[in-house]
Amino acid sequence: MRRLNPEIIYCSITGYGQTGGQKDFAGHDVNFFSYSGVLDLMGEGDRCPSIPGVQIADLAAGGMNAAIGILLALLYGAKSGRGQFIDISMTDGMASFLPIALHFFQEDGVLPQRGASLLSHKYAC
| Catalytic residue ranges | 28, 58
* φ/ψ of residue 118, rounded to 5: -55, -35
Write the burial class of residue 115 (CB in 10 Å: 0-12 exposed, 13-18 middle, 19+ buried).
middle
Q: How many whole angstroms separate alpha carbon 34 and alpha carbon 56?
A: 11
